[in-house]
Amino acid sequence: MISILLGGNVALFVALLLVLIISLSFHEYGHAYAAKHYGDRTAEMLGRLTINPLKHIDPVGLLMVVMVGFGYAKPVPTNPRNFNSKWATLGVAAAGPFMNLLIAFVVLNVFALGVKLGWTFMLSESMILFVQIVAAVNLALMLFNLIPIGPLDGHYILPYFLPTRLANLYNEYNSRYGFYALLGLLLLSATGVPIFRYVFSFASSLGDYITFI
């Protein structure tokens, strides 16, 4: 993202940053809502059951967004001892990426409906760009968080789909090396390897598959 700002496109930089901040806030709200649904009110009691960005955005994580294109928000605190289902960890972890998918789905289909109904303002360049940004950012956040390494949501989800022995082995290795693997990806991105650009490009291509109008 810093390259966009240095290239002089301040408006695009600001739009991307605002969409990222709001999308990250909805992502974390999804986790908090799911945790409450499964019996854990820790996040709610700590004021995280909200879409207010001030409750979710981490300054360092936001700086990373600016510098390397991806960062993080404050993790939603949970207490697994309060969960009332064996599927709770899966549900809570998946709720964040699902929220990003839902945002992209709603924005793309409302836009498609507006075009179909002849809402002329939907055809303006600024509106088309806005829809593209919101959809691409949220689909990219979904994909990135589903990567099963380090502290990303995917590392909670993957074990549910593995045999017990393999899941235990995966958890052991991820607890030892997952953070370093994620750090390696971030460092590669910071040194110019366009890892997250590929994620963003792939995410942008998914829009057609979730547009049904």
> For residues 35 and 90, is the Cβ–Cβ distance under 8 A?
no
Residue 213 is which amino acid?
I
In the residue annotation, 28 being an active-site residue is answered as: yes
Helix, strand, coil shares, percent, the chain, to 5: 75, 0, 25
Say which of 28, 44, 125, 172 is annotated catalytic. Answer: 28
3 state SS for 78-123: CCHHHCCCCCHHHHHHHHHHHHHHHHHHHHHHHHHHHHHCCCHHHH
d(CA 85, CA 136): 33
Measured CA to CA in angstroms, residue 6 lies from 9, 33, 67, 73, 75 at distances of: 8, 38, 11, 24, 30
Hey, which residues are catalytic here?
A: 28
